[in-house]
Chains A and B, each alone.
Chain A
Amino acid sequence: MFKVLERIFRDKIATEQISLEGSERFRGTIEGNGSPEMLEHCQSVCPVGAFQVQGDSYKIDYKKCLFCGKCVEACASIALQEGKEGDVLHHSSKDAMPYLLEAGQEAVAEVLKQKLGRSLHVRHLDAGSCNACDFEMGAMSNPYYDLHRYGVAFVASPRHADMLMVTGVVTRNLEQALRMSYEAMPEPRLVMACGACAAGGETYGDTYAVVGAADQVVPVDLYVPGCPPRPSAMIVGMLAAADMLAEKLKHK
């Protein structure tokens, strides 16, 4: 008992402001530019087809991106060979921002108006993840992130949930579970595809056991990029999406 009390009194409050800034080495969004030859090479090494050359620039589909760093590495190796200096591709230490689906916005806005007087009940569904997203979801409840301060709570059943938070690429063995969980939710309802597998569905390629991204099975309203998204990115995903939509609704 003594130890419990000692730690309770000694430990300071750990809870922090949510930030999308990672540590120095963190592989976040991709910045900078390269020669057409470099970009072409980047596109060819991307394992999930997230890197797309567009004219003399490029576009990255962060829904699919694994933040594995292969494109950056490929670009750097060409620059090294050719002795080029200056602007090459590199990772910033920032998380990629969440995506909202245009078509889903109206329904979503309705949910938010009713529910998000700062209260959102979330049901998690692992549709075939590698458990990294799941661990990061668990981390959202630790003293550093303290998700509950935002009025977000995890509930035990989809029948109690406003939002279904899907992690992992949908597998054949879980397709039915995802569909049934969605159907069991009361309307209006939201679906979040969390992480590169659920959002992009390209992580493992197309196999006999995989159905695809979450939006192949149920309508998805918001996407959170990352492999896995950091807990702060997940929280920003939830809240930023909510705020952006509420804002849009105001100007309608």
Chain B
Amino acid sequence: MQQVVSSEELLAAALQVYEQGKHPLTAMFGRDETLNGAGYAIYCCFEVPEKRDVHIVKGVFSAEGPLSYESLTHAIPAAAWYEREIHDMFGLVPEGHPDLRPLVLHESFPEDFHPLRKSVAVNAKVRGERKFKIRTAKGQGLFQVPVGPIHAGIIEPGHFRFSQAGEAMLQLDAKLFFTHRGIEKAVEGKTPEEALHIVERICGACSVANTWSFCQAVEKAAGVAVPRRAEIIRTLLSELERITNHVGDLGNMPAGVGFNPAISLGSRLKEQLMRLCEAVAGNRFLRGVIVPGGVRQDITPELIEHIHEVMDATAQGVEDLAAMFREQENFQNRVRTTGIIRNQTAKDLAMVGIGARASGYAHDSRKDFAYGVYPELGFEPYTMTMGDVAARLLVRIGELSASFEMMDKLLDMLRNCHGMELKVELTSGKGEGWGICESARGSNFQYVALDNEGRIDRLFVRSASYPNWPALTIAVQGDIIPDFPLINKSFELCYACIDR
């Protein structure tokens, strides 16, 4: 549901829906409606799982009024990054925000450049000088360790600044958004079909989740239902993506401590899954199957059997990996009590996915929003309470066994599904909608508004990594710097997803 208030009333209205954290702030974004005869607006989206709905509080700015509003951050900590982003992209100022440094736009952009305003051309090439002051702790004997944006390994770019007291990390400030490609602006004016290849390429690891959320939003805006076979295939692809990513993470986490046999086994299993993805979709990242209105390719009976075989082999491999982790005491020493996120922190930051569930916060969109055919699969979110690296590892292992069971059921559903229709045509026209999909990293939210011709007026992408990034900087505090790679890998956050 959507509730429209003035920008002055935004804070009060938001707090009423928030109910001290009962309904977490899942996303917050701006919109420029000046071309539609209105002004700027801020959307605050709160999850209402008991109604399987998202309650949107829309604060509108009058054309003549000031472009500022009372910041939500002091009452809803999860709003901190969103407000910084809106400030960068639209120039709407949150009064009283504790840290209003730039977030998305780095030093090469001018101060007063707000790219998501409709008055700015999509390919505006303006240069200027912004200030970006990295945060450090100061004191006798303290020193800094700068890392990135080009790292030593093969990972995505981000700059980390550690403030150290000896080996202990006192503070971490992360400068991200290096891979910001302006995707939300790039798709404006395109039809959902034309924008699809871009949405699929927001992120490699969460390709299915991003595409599915986008398609859900577009289908909701157009008011159509997807054929059952397509829903089953989408759910199956989503679980396949989760299994591939979780297995990859299980093989990647031991790389943080140099546990080579586990790295080797994990990367073997992942490669087999990547090949399965290619056999199913024609692309190793499952691109090119999910389209607005349904899916483009069927899963044939031969493929069903092939998937079944690979799943069996993977399940055995995961069991062995879990045994390796369990038996290796020095590995256990490294992962236990390392990088702790407390339950309240997880709730305050509106964390999602593995990060939330490892801290006893049972947030899982598959359960909360019951999209696809998940309601028929009967599962409970898998949680742990310790909130450390070990808990995040065990949550992955637990979820994998649940996913293998779901895969079995999904394959059976496909075998017994006699409807062969894969896709419905979408009527184009004005509308807006949101979509939610649980990626391997957590809940993935997208909002789409279509104009009169059915072209995208606004796309907002809030991937799972977005609310979890600030948690990483909290998790590392007090741990030693050699544990950072391990803690980082235990969250396994995407950069491309959040940078867009």
Which A positions have Cβ atoms within 8 angstroms of B?
1-4, 6-8, 11, 14, 22-27, 47-48, 66-70, 73, 91, 124-126, 128-139, 141-144, 154, 156-158, 168-169, 171-177, 181, 203-210, 227-228, 230
Asked if residues B268 and A11 are in contact (CB atoms below 8 Å), the reply is yes
Asked if residues B264 and A69 are in contact (CB atoms below 8 Å), the reply is no
Whether a CB of chain A sits under 8 angstroms from the CB of B221 is: no
Asked if residues A25 and B282 are in contact (CB atoms below 8 Å), the reply is yes
Asked if residues B323 and A3 are in contact (CB atoms below 8 Å), the reply is yes
Asked if residues A208 and B185 are in contact (CB atoms below 8 Å), the reply is yes
Whether a CB of chain A sits under 8 angstroms from the CB of B194 is: yes
Contact residues of B: prevailing secondary structure: loop
Given contacts A134-B154, A172-B109, A173-B106, whether A228 and B285 have CB atoms under 8 Å apart is yes
Given contacts A4-B324, A129-B496, A177-B149, whether A209 and B204 have CB atoms under 8 Å apart is no
Asked if residues A131 and B271 are in contact (CB atoms below 8 Å), the reply is no
Whether a CB of chain A sits under 8 angstroms from the CB of B267 is: yes
Asked if residues A171 and B154 are in contact (CB atoms below 8 Å), the reply is no
Q: Give the distance to chain B from A131, nearest Cβ to Cβ, in Å.
A: 4
Chain B neighbourhood of A227, CB < 8 A: 201, 283, 287
Whether a CB of chain A sits under 8 angstroms from the CB of B166 is: no
Instruction: Give the interface centre of A124, A168, A171, A210 by most chain B CB atoms within 10 Å.
Output: A171
Name the residue of chain B whose CB is nearest to the CB of A6.
Answer: B320
Number of B residues near A (Cβ < 8 Å) is 71
Chain A neighbourhood of B194, CB < 8 A: 47
Q: Complex formed: what's the CA distance from A99 to B155 in Å?
A: 25
Asked if residues B204 and A173 are in contact (CB atoms below 8 Å), the reply is no
Which B positions have Cβ atoms within 8 angstroms of A?
105-106, 108-109, 113, 115, 120-126, 149-150, 152-157, 177-183, 185-186, 194, 197-198, 200-205, 207, 248, 261-262, 264-265, 267-268, 270-271, 274-275, 278-285, 287-288, 296-297, 320, 323-324, 327-328, 494-496
14 pairs, CB–CB < 8 Å, chain A vs chain B: A4-B262, A4-B324, A7-B320, A23-B278, A26-B283, A130-B179, A131-B494, A132-B201, A134-B204, A138-B154, A139-B270, A204-B198, A205-B186, A208-B124
Asked if residues A132 and B285 are in contact (CB atoms below 8 Å), the reply is yes
Contact check: which of A168, A181, A228 meets B284 at CB < 8 Å? A228
Asked if residues B496 and A130 are in contact (CB atoms below 8 Å), the reply is yes
Q: Complex formed: what's the CA distance from A25 to B180 in Å?
A: 32
Q: Complex formed: what's the CA distance from A69 to B297 in Å?
A: 12
Contact residues of A: prevailing secondary structure: loop
Contact check: which of B108, B202, B323 meets A130 at CB < 8 Å? B202
Asked if residues A143 and B178 are in contact (CB atoms below 8 Å), the reply is no
Q: Complex formed: what's the CA distance from A181 to B108 in Å?
A: 18
Q: Give the distance to chain A from B23, nearest Cβ to Cβ, in Å.
A: 31
Chain B neighbourhood of A176, CB < 8 A: 108
Contact check: which of A7, A138, A175, A203 meets B261 at CB < 8 Å? A7
Contact check: which of A134, A142, A206 meets B270 at CB < 8 Å? A142
Q: Complex formed: what's the CA distance from A4 to B260 in Å?
A: 10
Asked if residues B156 and A173 are in contact (CB atoms below 8 Å), the reply is no
Asked if residues B179 and A7 are in contact (CB atoms below 8 Å), the reply is no
Chain B neighbourhood of A23, CB < 8 A: 275, 278-279
Given contacts A25-B297, A131-B156, A209-B115, whether A143 and B288 have CB atoms under 8 Å apart is no
Q: Give the distance to chain B from A45, nearest Cβ to Cβ, in Å.
A: 9
Given contacts A128-B178, A174-B149, whether A137 and B154 have CB atoms under 8 Å apart is yes
Asked if residues A134 and B155 are in contact (CB atoms below 8 Å), the reply is yes
Q: Complex formed: what's the CA distance from A178 to B204 in Å?
A: 21
Chain B neighbourhood of A125, CB < 8 A: 150
Given contacts A25-B278, A126-B156, A142-B270, whether A206 and B123 have CB atoms under 8 Å apart is yes
Q: Give the distance to chain B from A80, nearest Cβ to Cβ, in Å.
A: 14
Q: Give the distance to chain B from A16, nearest Cβ to Cβ, in Å.
A: 10
Q: Complex formed: what's the CA distance from A216 to B281 in Å?
A: 33
Given contacts A91-B282, A174-B157, whether A132 and B207 have CB atoms under 8 Å apart is yes
Chain B neighbourhood of A132, CB < 8 A: 201, 204-205, 207, 285
Asked if residues B204 and A203 are in contact (CB atoms below 8 Å), the reply is no
Instruction: Give the interface centre of B124, B149, B181, B202 by most chain A CB atoms within 10 Å.
Output: B181
Q: Complex formed: what's the CA distance from A208 to B186 in Å?
A: 9
Asked if residues A177 and B150 are in contact (CB atoms below 8 Å), the reply is yes
3 smallest beta-carbon distances between A and B, as pairs: A132-B204, A207-B182, A209-B182
Q: Give the distance to chain A from B277, nearest Cβ to Cβ, in Å.
A: 10
Asked if residues B120 and A181 are in contact (CB atoms below 8 Å), the reply is no
Instruction: Give the interface centre of A66, A135, A169 by most chain B CB atoms within 10 Å.
Output: A135
Asked if residues B186 and A68 are in contact (CB atoms below 8 Å), the reply is no
Q: Complex formed: what's the CA distance from A205 to B187 in Å?
A: 9
Chain B neighbourhood of A68, CB < 8 A: 197, 200, 287-288
Asked if residues B203 and A130 are in contact (CB atoms below 8 Å), the reply is yes
Q: Complex formed: what's the CA distance from A206 to B320 in Å?
A: 48
Asked if residues B268 and A168 are in contact (CB atoms below 8 Å), the reply is no
Q: Give the distance to chain B from A74, nearest Cβ to Cβ, in Å.
A: 11
Chain A neighbourhood of B121, CB < 8 A: 208
Chain B neighbourhood of A131, CB < 8 A: 156, 203-205, 494-496
Chain B neighbourhood of A126, CB < 8 A: 155-157, 179
Given contacts A91-B282, A203-B201, whether A134 and B156 have CB atoms under 8 Å apart is yes
Q: Complex formed: what's the CA distance from A124 to B150 in Å?
A: 8
Contact check: which of B115, B152, B285 meets A208 at CB < 8 Å? B115
Contact check: which of A73, A143, A210, A228 meets B264 at CB < 8 Å? A143
Name the residue of chain B whose CB is nearest to the CB of A48.
Answer: B197
Q: Give the distance to chain A from B255, nearest Cβ to Cβ, in Å.
A: 10
Asked if residues A133 and B204 are in contact (CB atoms below 8 Å), the reply is yes
Asked if residues A130 and B324 are in contact (CB atoms below 8 Å), the reply is no
Q: Give the distance to chain A from B103, nearest Cβ to Cβ, in Å.
A: 11
Asked if residues B271 and A171 are in contact (CB atoms below 8 Å), the reply is no
Asked if residues B496 and A208 are in contact (CB atoms below 8 Å), the reply is no
